[in-house]
């Protein structure tokens, strides 16, 4: 199945003509070269050869006439001359027949059907890759599932692209014929589309580049990046025989292509169609924000692998399975493709950032700003009217995030004046406000920082801070950050609006190893374990042991917010993960409802949450225990951010901790998280300590030498203290002394 497996600009099949035409066993190997995924076809000399051993599958039209075309649109247009546009019922019928064929049935099921005992691997049948099976399953659900308005993503939505989903058959047994079929049917582009010197140099491996450099009498001892730069500069400065520019470039392209052999890339329109399909099936798994923390993540591959793990029973999710809903915010294919294109742009931008290619990242951000400005007011208004959790699946949300990335790039390039103009564009364009509510606080802070520290405009910075403090969507954690900056700028001549209690501060000493030459860590703490052996540990473990030995606690964990989220999940599981809440479950792969990370979590379930809080205030311990045990037993090991199943060895251990917490303080903590999950989900103190005999509990924020409290941590320490839960800050001073005595 040639599906969009890469977010890279070019996927290549490379073969040398003299070696590749022999009948042989084919294996494929992928290697990453300069952001380009190259698939090389190689002979496997250790295995039997012959045409019958070569097998490749791909979605192609069944019973179709062979024809050539330059694009998917041309291919489909040509096909439409022979038959009318297919209906989704016809496409789904073909999908059903494929899913029921032996090629997609598991060995165990096939063996049972054929009444074969023992090892099913003895059955003679062809197994398709799991990507084929799950792609077909995704097609079926996307085409059949009703949208919220009762309609479906049918042939009227997809138009001629519906033909792309009706293309599955076995390819020919020789690679040359198979590739020709793919080209003829518009799935891949041949090397006639490979005409740019930049592209051919990027996809060429180092040996090819050295051959080309040698031909032009250039230094061949350099690495790939240097060779590409050398060849590019050479072609740009050399003149042809009659003095004209560009002839060397054309000749160099031909030389590189000759050395590469036949090259093919996945057709962009086909790739986009499948990415659109995957997006409709699982919008949360295909969200480009996932790439920000994992730049190398391939969303399509990760989605298919997650489906495989779920199919094998390795992971379980709390989402309804099968899911009866589908994301229903795209009125036309153009709306959907605009969102997919925006995601592609962000993935490209983040890739450049991870490689420190700031010029290229800025170009992506600039392109995003241009696209954002070109979108119609009607489409913006429709997107802004969506519920908050659904707005992130629109092109507007992605493009605004790209522009925010661009402001950060400009800061790195020390272009502070331009960065300020971009930040003001995001903050002071009213039409953009509904799409960046969660990032406005950070933007106000960066704007004030740039004005004060880099532009030396102190009064202007203070004015922007005042405006940010008045912004109703800015969270308390961000307002506290702005207030801190204002106090520093004004030399404390600023009226504090957020006043916090000072936590109890303690200071202890921890034993450290002597720093070795080249060791980047300032302090490496050590302790004696239960066997008397000296072991290295984290600074949090030093404090945990101190509280166990000297502060009268018999249990404690370094879990930050995980322990409190586990309490929340076990006491409110049936409410948070209620399958009857509308528009929050869009696929079987969701670990959480899409409104979890917003204030809509509470608003969409207000009545049930309030009832549960009222009940918890007066419920007996044994009644609460019954609820916890029931949830623990029914939902154990499900993948969700709200319950850490590994934190406690048993439900009894969890209940011991739960009943050490003062009831009113515990419910206050849970209510704060539920009513403003997005801004209160993190920042919890590092350690949670408790004593099962005296029924006392404490939270401790651990700080090593030079560490400072964040605004979120200060707010949580203040909140715990105001609700009668002991909250402290423990500073650890590292000192070297021998433990061998």
| Range 547-583 burial, b when 16+ CB lie within 10 A, else e | beeebebebbbbbbbbbbbbbbbbbbbebbbeeebeb
Per-residue pLDDT at 517 exceeds 60: no
Query: Which pLDDT value is given to residue 607?
Result: 97
Rounded Cα distance, 421 and 429, in Å: 12
For residue 327, give both structure tokens: 């994301």
Residues in the chain: 741
Query: Average pLDDT of 532-551?
Result: 90
Number of neighbours of residue 622 by Cβ within 10 angstroms: 7
Mean pLDDT of 525-552: 88
- The C-alpha atoms of residue 438 and residue 598 are separated, in whole angstroms, by 9
Mean pLDDT calculated for residue range 2-19: 36
Mean pLDDT of 128-149: 87
CA 654, 656, 657, 658 dihedral sign is positive
Q: Which residue has the higher pLDDT, 534 or 211?
A: 211
Kindly give the residue spans of alpha helices, DSSP state H, lying in 114-174: 130-144, 155-158
Give the DSSP letter string of 464-522. Answer: HHHHHHH-TTS-HHHHHHHHHHHHHHTTT-S--S---PPPEEEEEEEEBPPPPTT---S
Nearest Cα residue to 580 out of 604, 546, 548: 604
What is the model's pLDDT at position 175? 78
Residue given tokens 């070269």 in the structure block: 33
Residue 283: band (very low, low, confident or very high) from pLDDT cuts 50, 70, 90: very high
The candidate with the shortest Cα–Cα distance to 352, out of 300, 413, 272, is: 413
Tokens of 521: 């860590």
Q: Using DSSP bridges, classify how beta strands 696-703 and 687-691 pair: parallel, antiparallel or unpaired.
A: antiparallel
**Average pLDDT of span 75-99:** 70
437: left (phi over 0), alpha (psi -120 to 50) or beta: alpha
- What pLDDT, on the 0 to 100 scale, is given for residue 162? 81
Residue range 698-706: mean pLDDT, rounded: 89
388 has a pLDDT exceeding 70: yes
Cis peptide upstream of residue 620 (ω within 30 degrees of 0): no
Rounded to an integer, what distance in angstroms lies between the CA atom of residue 369 and that of residue 367? 5
Mean pLDDT of 390-399: 97
pLDDT tens track for 588-639: 999 999 999 999 999 999 999 999 999 999 999 999 999 999 999 999 888 8
CB 668 within 8 A of CB 698: no
Higher pLDDT, 504 or 132: 504
The H or E element containing residue 50 is none
pLDDT level of residue 161 (50, 70, 90 thresholds): confident
Which residue is associated with the tokens 């250039």? 218
Residues in contact with 345: Cβ distance below 8 Å, sequence separation at least 6, in sequence order: 364, 367, 368, 371, 398, 399, 402
Who wins on pLDDT, 660 or 173?
660
Look over the chain and give the mean of its residue pLDDT values, rounded to a whole number: 83
**Nearest alpha-carbon partner for 501 in 725, 731, 714, 724:** 714
Give the position of tokens 């050398």: 230
So what's the pLDDT on residue 109?
53
What pLDDT, in 10s, does the model give residues 354-387?
999 999 999 999 999 999 999 999 999 999 999 9
Give the range among 58-62, 63-67, 347-351, 648-652 with minimum mean pLDDT.
58-62
Q: What average pLDDT does the segment 488-503 reach?
A: 87
- Model confidence pLDDT, tens digit, residues 453-469: 999 999 999 999 999 99
According to the per-residue pLDDT averaged within each range, which of 48-52, 59-63, 215-219, 298-302 is highest?
298-302
Condensed to tens digits (0 to 9), the pLDDT of residues 298-322 reads 999 999 999 999 999 999 999 999 9
512, two tokens: 């450290």
For helices 606-618 and 663-675, angle between their N-to-C axes, nearest 10 degrees: 170
Q: Which helix (H) or strand (E) holds 495?
A: none
Task: Check residue 54 and give its pLDDT.
Answer: 29
Contacts for 230 with CB less than 8 Å, ≥ 6 apart: 213, 218, 219, 222
Name the one residue in this structure whose structure tokens are 């092109």. Answer: 395
**Rounded Cα distance, 652 and 633, in Å:** 12
pLDDT at 86 over 60: yes
Phi, psi of 453 (to 5 degrees): -75, -35
Is 185:269 a contact under the CB 8 Å cutoff?
A: no
Angle in degrees, 0-180, between the axes of helices 395-412 and 440-449, rounded to the nearest 10: 20
Q: CB 262: neighbour CB atoms within 10 A?
A: 18
Give the whole-angstrom CA distance, residue 341 versus residue 403: 15
- Over residues 10-19, the mean pLDDT reads 36
Using CA atoms of 665, 655, 565, 663 in order, give the dihedral in degrees to the nearest 10: -10
DSSP-derived letter for residue 283 is T
pLDDT at 314: 92
Q: Which of 45-49, 125-129, 730-734 has the lowest mean pLDDT?
A: 45-49
User: Rounded mean pLDDT of 483-508?
Assistant: 89
Provide the 10 A C-beta neighbour count for residue 536: 11
The DSSP secondary-structure symbol of 451 reads I
Q: What is the mean pLDDT of residues 318-337?
A: 94
The per-residue pLDDT for 37 is: 34
| Among the listed residues 174, 195, 164, the one whose alpha carbon sits nearest the alpha carbon of residue 86 | 164
Res 372: pLDDT: 96
Answer whether 0.85 is exceeded by the pTM. no
């Amino acid at each position: 199945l040639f599906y969009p497996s890469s977010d890279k600009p070019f996927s290549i099949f490379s073969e040398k003509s003299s070696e590749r035409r022999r009948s042989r066993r084919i294996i494929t190997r992928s290697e990453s070269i300069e952001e380009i995924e190259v698939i090389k076809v190689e002979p496997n000399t250790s295995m039997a050869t012959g045409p019958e051993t070569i097998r490749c599958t791909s979605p192609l039209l069944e019973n179709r006439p062979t024809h050539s075309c330059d694009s998917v649109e041309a291919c489909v247009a040509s096909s439409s001359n022979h038959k009318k546009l297919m209906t989704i019922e016809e496409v789904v019928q073909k999908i059903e027949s494929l899913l029921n064929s032996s090629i997609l049935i598991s060995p165990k099921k096939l063996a049972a059907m054929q009444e074969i005992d023992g090892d099913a691997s003895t059955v003679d049948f062809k197994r398709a890759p799991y990507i084929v099976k799950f792609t077909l399953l995704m097609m079926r659900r996307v085409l059949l599932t009703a949208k919220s308005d009762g309609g479906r993503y049918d042939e009227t939505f997809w138009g001629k692209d519906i033909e792309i989903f009706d293309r599955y058959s076995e390819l020919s047994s020789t690679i040359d014929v198979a590739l020709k079929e793919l080209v003829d049917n518009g799935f891949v582009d041949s090397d006639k589309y490979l005409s740019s010197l930049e592209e051919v140099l990027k996809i060429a491996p180092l040996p090819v580049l050295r051959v080309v450099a040698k031909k032009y009498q250039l230094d061949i001892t350099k690495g790939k990046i240097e060779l590409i730069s050398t060849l590019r500069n050479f072609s740009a400065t050399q003149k042809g025989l009659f003095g004209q520019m560009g002839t060397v470039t054309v000749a160099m392209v031909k030389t590189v292509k000759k050395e590469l052999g036949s090259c093919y890339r996945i057709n962009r329109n086909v790739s986009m169609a499948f990415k659109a399909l995957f997006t409709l099936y699982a919008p949360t798994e295909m969200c480009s924000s996932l790439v920000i923390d994992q730049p190398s993540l391939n969303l399509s591959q990760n989605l298919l692998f997650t489906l495989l793990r779920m199919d094998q029973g390795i992971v379980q999710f709390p989402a309804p399975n099968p899911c009866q809903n589908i994301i229903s915010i795209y009125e036309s294919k153009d709306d959907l493709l605009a969102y997919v294109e925006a995601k592609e742009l962000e993935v490209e931008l983040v890739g450049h950032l991870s490689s420190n290619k700031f010029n290229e990242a800025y170009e992506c951000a600039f392109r995003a700003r241009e696209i954002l400005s070109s979108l119609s007011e009607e489409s913006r208004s429709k997107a802004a009217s969506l519920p908050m959790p659904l707005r992130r699946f629109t092109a507007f949300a992605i493009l605004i995030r790209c522009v925010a990335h661009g402001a950060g790039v400009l800061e790195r390039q020390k272009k502070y004046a331009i960065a300020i103009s971009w930040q003001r564009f995001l903050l002071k364009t009213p039409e953009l406000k509904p799409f960046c509510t969660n990032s406005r606080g950070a933007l106000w802070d960066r704007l004030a920082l740039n004005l004060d520290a880099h532009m030396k405009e102190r009064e202007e910075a203070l004015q922007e801070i005042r405006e940010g403090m008045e912004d109703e969507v800015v969270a308390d954690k961000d307002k506290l950050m702005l207030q801190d900056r204002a106090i520093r700028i004004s030399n404390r001549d600023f009226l504090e609006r957020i006043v916090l209690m000072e936590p109890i501060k303690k200071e202890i000493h921890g034993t450290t190893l002597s720093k070795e030459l080249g060791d980047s860590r300032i302090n490496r703490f050590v302790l004696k374990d239960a066997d008397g052996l000296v072991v290295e540990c984290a600074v949090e473990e030093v404090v945990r042991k101190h509280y166990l030995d000297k502060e009268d606690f018999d249990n404690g964990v370094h879990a930050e917010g995980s322990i409190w989220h586990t309490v929340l999940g076990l006491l409110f599981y049936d409410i948070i993960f209620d399958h009857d809440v509308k528009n929050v479950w869009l696929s079987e792969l969701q670990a959480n409802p899409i409104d979890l990370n917003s204030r809509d979590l509470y608003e969409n379930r207000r009545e049930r949450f309030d009832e549960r809080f009222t009940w918890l205030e007066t419920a007996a311990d044994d009644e609460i225990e019954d609820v916890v045990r029931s949830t623990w037993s029914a939902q154990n090991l499900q993948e969700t951010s709200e319950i850490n199943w590994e934190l406690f060895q048993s439900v009894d251990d969890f209940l011991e901790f739960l009943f050490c917490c003062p009831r009113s303080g515990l419910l206050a903590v849970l209510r704060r998280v539920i009513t403003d999950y997005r801004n209160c989900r993190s920042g919890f103190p590092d350690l949670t300590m408790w004593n099962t005999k005296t029924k006392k509990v404490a939270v401790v924020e651990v700080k090593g030498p030079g560490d400072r409290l964040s605004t979120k941590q200060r707010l949580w320490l203040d909140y715990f203290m105001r609700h009668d839960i002991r909250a402290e800050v423990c500073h650890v001073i590292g000192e070297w002394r021998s433990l061998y005595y």
